[in-house]
Amino acid sequence: MKTHTVPPKAGPARAALVLGVGAAALAGAVLLSLVAGSKPTSPVEVWQVLFGEADPFTATVVESRVPRTLLGVVAGAALALAGTLMQGVTRNPLADPGLLGVNAGAAAAVVTATALLGPSSTAATVWWALPGALVAGLAAYTVGTRGGDGGLVRLVLAGAVVSAVLMAYVQAVSLSMPDVFDSYRYWVVGSLAGRGYDVVLSVLPVIGLGVLMALLVMGSLNSLALGEEAAVATGANVFLARSGGLVAGTLLAAGATAAAGPIAFVGLAVPHVVRGMVGVDFRLQVPFALLAGPTLLLVADVVGRTVARPMELMVGVVTAFVGAPVLLYVVRKMKASS
């Protein structure tokens, strides 16, 4: 029989301290994102560009980092919160935002659009990837719950089937059409570079709706974490709590993936850090995930910009290097507690 170690519940003082530290870390990561790059700038120069006067070259450099930083904040928050919701709803510490085929749906839509219309701008790619991700997530959820609540295993299997079918389609199209593959390979790695304000604004309504739904269901997820029977005994609606969490996670993952591409491990690693810091209370996990996710993604993006200067590593590559050891640690911890 398996037993799992439950992190202690954070008291009010500790929770306030952790959230304060998280907010300070995010502020530092935002500043670092605006300062660091192929041309380093000082905080004073950043301040002059944003609120005063600066030389045109420095202004151009700093202003190009602002939409990139905003996207890092939005996408990092969305991925971290999506992973927190997915792991909470499924009670599976290895669940990630792509659980219901969201990443595969976005990839299939991008490949289809490129094959039919040719390579397009980043903003146009978002408008294809977003509905593709949402449709794939909805299809997996519909199949997994058809005929009533089929259980988490059936839902996860449905997501795996949808992902497998769509990724087979993606590989078939991209490998048979070199132009499609050339365009697709840049998107599939995951990057914050080359995105403007229009990309952030395009996905903001979807991500905002996902955050709102997460705030509405986080109390019910606390009951769901006790098990279905205990949740029913406390008066929680298991179906609504699970559905709301999955739909919110799908919206968040779809928005982030459409804007920045499939960035791995942020949604998988951050929830473990969150639970270790604030415990199992989703009323604390949700706000801390909104702080920790952007911090990790922005720091990873800065590392990618500076480690191979003047060249640049995509942020999806950096997060994979960071997230892989975390995944191994989680698996070993699960094995030790079983």
The two structure tokens encoding residue 336:
């030790």
pLDDT of residue 334: 61
CB 34 within 8 A of CB 62: yes
Angle of the 152-176 helix axis to the 122-145 helix axis, nearest 10 = 140
pLDDT of residue 301: 94
Q: How far apart are CA 50 and CA 28, in angstroms?
A: 16
CB 268 within 8 A of CB 327: yes
| pLDDT tens digits, 141-171 | 888 777 555 567 788 888 899 999 999 999 9
pLDDT of residue 58: 82
pLDDT of residue 180: 87
pLDDT of residue 147: 59
The two structure tokens encoding residue 294:
């952007």
pLDDT of residue 225: 77
pLDDT of residue 1: 38
The two structure tokens encoding residue 237:
């609606």
Whole-model pTM: value is 0.88
- With CA atoms as reference, report the closest residue to 156 among 249, 90, 244: 90
- In terms of phi and psi (left: phi > 0; alpha: psi -120 to 50; beta: otherwise), the region of 118 is left
- In terms of phi and psi (left: phi > 0; alpha: psi -120 to 50; beta: otherwise), the region of 9 is beta
Per-residue pLDDT of the chain (338 residues; tens, 9 = 90+): 344 444 455 667 888 888 999 999 999 999 999 998 877 788 888 888 888 777 888 888 888 899 999 999 999 999 999 999 999 888 888 788 888 889 899 999 999 998 888 877 777 888 888 899 989 988 888 887 775 555 677 888 888 999 999 999 999 999 898 888 888 888 888 899 888 899 999 999 999 999 999 999 998 888 887 777 777 777 777 888 888 998 999 999 999 999 999 998 899 889 988 988 888 889 999 999 999 999 999 999 999 988 877 788 889 889 988 777 777 776 677 656 65
Q: How far apart are CA 3 and CA 338, in angstroms?
A: 6
Q: Using CA atoms in the order 300, 306, 308, 313, what is the torsion angle rounded to 10 degrees?
A: 30
